[in-house]
Amino acid sequence: MALSGTRRRAAYLFVVPAFILYSVFVVYPLFTGLTYSMFEWKGTLRSTFIGLSNYSHLFTEAFRNELLAALGHNFLLLAGTILVQNTLGLAFAVALFAVRRGKRALQTMFALPYLVNPLVIGYLWTLLLSPTFGPVNSLLRSAGLESLAMPWLGDPKSALLTVILINTWQWVGFPMLLFSAALGGIPPEFNEAARTDGASSWKVFWHITLPLLRPAMATVTILSFIGSMNAFALIYALGGSNGAPAGSTDVLGLLFYRTAFASGDVNAIGTSSALAVFMFAFIFGSTLVLQRVLRSRS
């Protein structure tokens, strides 16, 4: 409906409070970060304009190694999310679709872990997986699986895999819910028509259901990407701000936090602002590309 006169002016007044709040506390800081990144800093004092030097510092040898390792861990987390968590989530959603009674109870139980604070999840698993008093190892020992009773989070070789599994355990209910909703939106006639033509249930799933789930898959993939790249609290709780053990669980979020607040670098603000802008451009840009690619196919 088109507005005129006083009503149009009123419309702007309605928008103003949100506009101010959002501009001051979300948009302005993001843009100021960009200017921060182009100055040299002495503690909290802005010193000289140095253009892109802070960015090139990100790729000097010492920093680059840390940056690439962290980025690599983010990608492994993403791979685990897509391959393990989202596939499981889809399988559960399909199975759940065939179940008539107890649906709501099942949904609730699958979804509960993702409501729990990631920090709580991290600390909880730290206790459960403790090599000395943790119940997981004592359970494995009593089941005769002595060789599996190990310091899951203490060994650099297994730590990241353990993080991925814990993350999957926490989040699998989320793709399950989204896929369930999408399955519910598929008209049953499609399925029935194929069945009367004699298609097996596997064929129906592969040729009819799966293609119709593409929009939901696109959404889930994009959310997985954003979630994996922004991982912080769970990993902080499991491995502290250094990504223990031996940096094997370090991710971009931790690296940014350390650079900004715990590096002891005089130019900490400059370096970490450059890192923030780099991460921002990378995550935002990749999300746009992903969205383009995934949506155009569906």
Cβ count within 10 A of residue 243: 26
Nearer to another protein by Cβ, of 10 and 293: the residue is: 10
How would you classify the pairing of strands 39-42 and 45-49?
antiparallel
CB of 164 to another protein, least distance (A): 16
- Rounded (5°) CA angle 162-241-121: 45
Nearer to another protein by Cβ, of 63 and 225: the residue is: 225
Nearer to another protein by Cβ, of 21 and 79: the residue is: 21
CB of 221 to another protein, least distance (A): 13
Residue 101 structure tokens: 């009674």
Q: Is 273 exposed, middle or buried (0-12, 13-18, 19+ CB in 10 A)?
A: buried
Nearer to another protein by Cβ, of 247 and 253: the residue is: 253
- Rounded (5°) CA angle 75-68-118: 50
CB of 202 to another protein, least distance (A): 11
CB of 201 to another protein, least distance (A): 7
CB of 155 to another protein, least distance (A): 20
Handedness of CA 189, 193, 199, 204 (dihedral sign): negative
Instruction: Give the phi and the psi of residue 50 in degrees, each rounded to 5.
Output: -125, 20
Residue 236 structure tokens: 């902080």
Nearer to another protein by Cβ, of 5 and 61: the residue is: 5
Contact 47, 276 (CB under 8 A): no
